[in-house]
Structure 1
Amino acid sequence: MSVKVETVETNKVKLTITLSAESFDKALDAAFKKVSKNLQAPGFRKGKMPRPMFEQKFGVEALYEDALDALLPKAYMDAVAETNIAPVAAPSWDIKQIGKGQELVAEATVVVKPEVELGQYTGIEVEELSTEVTEADVEAELEKLLQNHAEIVVKEGAVENGDTAVIDYEGFKDGVAFEGGKGENHPLVIGSNSFIPGFEEQLVGMNAGETKEITVTFPEQYHSADLAGAEAVFKVTLHEVKTRELPQLDDEFVKDLDREGIETVADLKADLEKSIKAQKETAARNHVIDTVVEKATENAKFEIPAEMIEGEVAQMVREADQRFQMQGFNLDLYFQFTGMDMDKFKAQLRPEAEKRLSYNLTLEAIVKAENIDVTEEEVNAKLSEIAQAYGRELEELKAQLPSLAMLKEDLKVQKAVDFIVEKAVRK
């Protein structure tokens, strides 16, 4: 086999693959054996039709497709390895020469990963976030803790923002009740914005036992086309008003939390301060990482092929579907609830897909420019970390992995991130 590569346009190359007449004739022989198994000819048992009779009746061209299917995939993979290109989509083929006793000449037009021209990626200026923990930070966490342990109790008096109103409701459009617009003893948290805009605000000031008509307008993008943008009237009866009653912050409350080594309010505050500090340090580092990677990407020059973006979008759709399934959900149900379809969903994902690809391409280029590599010890350390996280034995995990190539590339990219973070200029 011989192969020639030429660039036809940005991110697209043409491979001209030439296979010997001998190899093509062998593929024709194999194709004939395959198809002849099911052929019946007068005077011959099934599967025993002579080759000349077959070619006279059907033509040798009838074997070309099977011969090409047998030859081209491997020839293409060998050509990719020999020319060191990085395809991002399946090739399109053009057969330039084909025939029994002739060399096979095929052209594969291939969309490839773009070449990246790096700009500045070291010495990037980044403003560091403060990791100081203030008294207000601790008080805010204490408030969240108290809110999480609050009791819901019936209260006297009118509905206020933050209260839970237990209501019956029924909606009418043009005086006619509509499907899905009725509920009984529904607990609605005022201010949660879980109902149609304007609904919850009109409950404020009502008292238990009151009935009221509430007029609202459905959003233009509402999932039901019949109600989108329409005005509706809800008849609402308020049964109860409930409010959140916070526990007293004292040592008894802290003990009831049953946190190891935390016995007093002072212990709790110290523990929260430590936790907040760790969160702020993580946020500060992530801010530096996000900033330097984003700026390094902005400084680089490349053009991502559409096929590569669509491939990333397809991957993100699969990831989303897997997440939904883990929650007992699926994409079809998501589309029903949101009024979205696959095309709209993909359009929503596309900017993030392009961003992910841009970051990865830039970091891969930095790996190459800085000759970043990983050691066997680093690979084993990462494998041990993964094995421990999933409760597996290291050797068992290694045996189940088809290749360590992807893991090694991921580790190189992470080292590239560490490198540009280390070289960043903090302000």
Structure 2
Amino acid sequence: MQVSVENTSVLERRMTVGVPVERIETEVNKRLQQTARRAKVPGFRPGKVPMSVIRQRYEDSARQEALGELIQATFYEAVVEQKLNPAGQPAVEPKSFEKGKDLEYVATFEVFPEFEVTGLDTIAVERLEAEVVDADVDNMLDILRKQNTSFEAVERAAETGDQLTIDFVGKIDGAEFAGGSAKGTQLVLGSGRMIPGFEDALVGAKAGEEKVINPTFPEDYQNLDLAGKTAEFTVNVTAVAAPKLPELNDDFFALFGIKEGGIEGFRAEVRKNMERELRQAIKSKVKNQVMDGLLAANPIEVPKALLSSEVDRLRVQAVQQFGGNIKPDQLPAELFEEQAKRRVVLGLIVAEVVKQFDLKPDDARVKELITEMASAYQEPEQVISWYYKNDQQMNEVRSVVLEEQVVDTVLQKANVTDKKVSYEEAVKPVEAPKAD
């Protein structure tokens, strides 16, 4: 077998492969002999059909099958021989495909980039330090109470925070517009559900009152037909209800699965959950800084095949998440290219760190992570048992642990500074950079 390789770009390879005619004929004859044992030809008993008849009837199909399989087999042999690592399937172009002659074809494909991860000592990481104090727990209790607010009807003017039940009809230039009317809508004043000015105009309204208000749609409103226009809404207020926070009692605690221990038991459970959230938030922020640093220090070419595959995966995820009657390939690829490229590049870099530093998932950390995740459930032992009986889930946990070990490896060489902050700041999501 003759093989030659041409580098047509940083990652693309054009490989020419020549397969001797003797190997082709051996494969063709092997298939014809297999066919002869089972072929049913009128006038002949099974297995007794002359080879000349078999060849006349089946040689063309046997040759096509042999050539297809030979291309697959010799491509694999060739890339192993040339020490190439293809990223995706090759595009195969036959050059010589004639009977009685050597087979020659050209396979064009991309290879995985070869590189060494560098610049770990240039990566800067700010590691947050925080703890959950009593005031944080008090604040969380207030949040949980507000999330479970009920409303009671009142006979007074509406205030911010009250829930109104309203019927309304919206018009622009005297004509009703689609989506501008509703009946029996419950609206909490100050929630920001409606366009600016709508809720503010209803402060002071009473049950049974009709109000005409004139809010203006924002200039960047999603419906361009309404953007920037002033509407006239006729609003009938049918009920005003004031918020009522639940008491911190056994009934409230039971909503969160806490049936014993009273207020102290509930506070202890809330604190435990907050501490788990804090650990995860700090770990996530450190990881993001490490990954950003690895990307900046190691710019590499991305195989188009891997990028395309990742774009397709993100398309499928988007359809699954948002639903709708749309096929994944109907979503524009450019919507996902930036995210796909980041994922692919990071995947390649992380894999190279694992290889360079000979990292393997630490069994103790795997057990610790499973125990941590199981602690969020009422019967953690059952959750732990389920993980250890599920190979796919265990492999996913090992992947997470291995990624954590990559982060730890980078931190050993990176410029790390510790910063003490409040719980609130530590768990606050990092704001995405604003577009220019």
TM-score by length of 1: 0.75
Matched AA of 2:97: I
- Report the 3-state secondary structure (helix = DSSP H, G, I; strand = E; otherwise coil) of the residue aligned with 1:182: strand
CA distance in 2, matches of 1:131, 1:70: 61
The structural deviation recorded for 1:252 is 8.1
- Report the 3-state secondary structure (helix = DSSP H, G, I; strand = E; otherwise coil) of the residue aligned with 1:90: coil
Query: Does the CA-based 8 Å contact 2:121-2:414 persist in structure 1?
Result: yes
CA distance in 2, matches of 1:7, 1:424: 36
CA distance in 1, matches of 2:101, 2:368: 52
Task: Map Cα deviations across residues 356-384 of structure 1 (whole Å, 9 max, x no partner).
Answer: 22222221121222233458x68997999
The structural deviation recorded for 1:108 is 1.0
Task: Map Cα deviations across residues 234-265 of structure 1 (whole Å, 9 max, x no partner).
Answer: 2221111222111344688658866254323x
* Equivalent position of 2:409 in the other structure: 419
Question: In 2 relative to 1, CA 230–3 (structure 1 residues): closer, same or farther, beyond 3 Å?
Answer: farther
* Equivalent position of 2:245 in the other structure: 246
Question: In 2 relative to 1, CA 12–34 (structure 1 residues): closer, same or farther, beyond 3 Å?
Answer: farther
* Equivalent position of 1:359 in the other structure: 346
* Equivalent position of 2:313 in the other structure: 315
Query: Does the CA-based 8 Å contact 2:32-2:55 persist in structure 1?
Result: no
**Sequence identity of aligned pairs in percent?**
28
Query: Does the CA-based 8 Å contact 2:312-2:329 persist in structure 1?
Result: no
CA distance in 2, matches of 1:272, 1:418: 29
The structural deviation recorded for 1:13 is 1.5
The structural deviation recorded for 1:68 is 4.0
The structural deviation recorded for 1:168 is 0.6
CA distance in 1, matches of 2:252, 2:382: 36
- Report the 3-state secondary structure (helix = DSSP H, G, I; strand = E; otherwise coil) of the residue aligned with 1:162: coil
The structural deviation recorded for 1:16 is 2.3
Question: In 2 relative to 1, CA 198–103 (structure 1 residues): closer, same or farther, beyond 3 Å?
Answer: farther
The structural deviation recorded for 1:113 is 2.3
* Equivalent position of 2:277 in the other structure: 279
- Structure 1 alignment gaps of length 5 or more: 36-43
Question: In 2 relative to 1, CA 183–267 (structure 1 residues): closer, same or farther, beyond 3 Å?
Answer: same
Question: In 2 relative to 1, CA 383–103 (structure 1 residues): closer, same or farther, beyond 3 Å?
Answer: farther
* Equivalent position of 1:262 in the other structure: 261
Matched AA of 1:363: V
* Equivalent position of 2:41 in the other structure: none
Query: Does the CA-based 8 Å contact 1:3-1:15 persist in structure 2?
Result: yes
* Equivalent position of 2:299 in the other structure: 301
CA distance in 1, matches of 2:248, 2:367: 44
Equivalent residues in 2 for 1:74-223 (5 A)? Answer: 74-122=73-121, 124-218=123-217
Query: Does the CA-based 8 Å contact 1:133-1:277 persist in structure 2?
Result: yes
The structural deviation recorded for 1:302 is 0.8
Task: Map Cα deviations across residues 287-327 of structure 1 (whole Å, 9 max, x no partner).
Answer: 222212221221113122343222112112223334x3xxx
CA distance in 1, matches of 2:399, 2:83: 17
CA distance in 2, matches of 1:28, 1:296: 52
Aligned equivalent of 2:325, options 328, 332, 336: 332
Question: Is residue 334 of structure 2 the alignment partner of residue 347 of structure 1?
Answer: yes
CA distance in 2, matches of 1:226, 1:426: 52
Question: In 2 relative to 1, CA 245–397 (structure 1 residues): closer, same or farther, beyond 3 Å?
Answer: closer
Question: In 2 relative to 1, CA 85–188 (structure 1 residues): closer, same or farther, beyond 3 Å?
Answer: farther
**Which sits farther off after the overlay, 359-368 or 267-276?**
267-276
* Equivalent position of 1:41 in the other structure: none
Size of the aligned set, in residue pairs, is: 403
CA distance in 1, matches of 2:329, 2:361: 43
Query: Does the CA-based 8 Å contact 1:198-1:216 persist in structure 2?
Result: yes
CA distance in 2, matches of 1:122, 1:107: 44
CA distance in 2, matches of 1:331, 1:86: 39
Query: Does the CA-based 8 Å contact 2:249-2:262 persist in structure 1?
Result: no
The Cα RMSD (Å) is 4.5
- Report the 3-state secondary structure (helix = DSSP H, G, I; strand = E; otherwise coil) of the residue aligned with 2:336: helix
Matched AA of 2:241: K
Question: In 2 relative to 1, CA 343–258 (structure 1 residues): closer, same or farther, beyond 3 Å?
Answer: closer
Question: In 2 relative to 1, CA 271–412 (structure 1 residues): closer, same or farther, beyond 3 Å?
Answer: closer
* Equivalent position of 2:25 in the other structure: 25
CA distance in 2, matches of 1:283, 1:311: 30
- Structure 2 alignment gaps of length 5 or more: 36-43, 374-380, 418-436
Query: Does the CA-based 8 Å contact 1:289-1:421 persist in structure 2?
Result: no
CA distance in 1, matches of 2:243, 2:307: 48
- Report the 3-state secondary structure (helix = DSSP H, G, I; strand = E; otherwise coil) of the residue aligned with 2:104: strand
Matched AA of 2:292: E
CA distance in 2, matches of 1:91, 1:132: 54
CA distance in 1, matches of 2:370, 2:246: 44
TM-score by length of 2: 0.74
Question: In 2 relative to 1, CA 2–33 (structure 1 residues): closer, same or farther, beyond 3 Å?
Answer: same
CA distance in 2, matches of 1:350, 1:69: 34
* Equivalent position of 1:16 in the other structure: 16
Question: In 2 relative to 1, CA 87–152 (structure 1 residues): closer, same or farther, beyond 3 Å?
Answer: farther
CA distance in 2, matches of 1:162, 1:138: 24
CA distance in 2, matches of 1:416, 1:425: 16
The structural deviation recorded for 1:109 is 1.0
- Report the 3-state secondary structure (helix = DSSP H, G, I; strand = E; otherwise coil) of the residue aligned with 2:166: strand
CA distance in 1, matches of 2:370, 2:253: 37
CA distance in 2, matches of 1:320, 1:281: 29
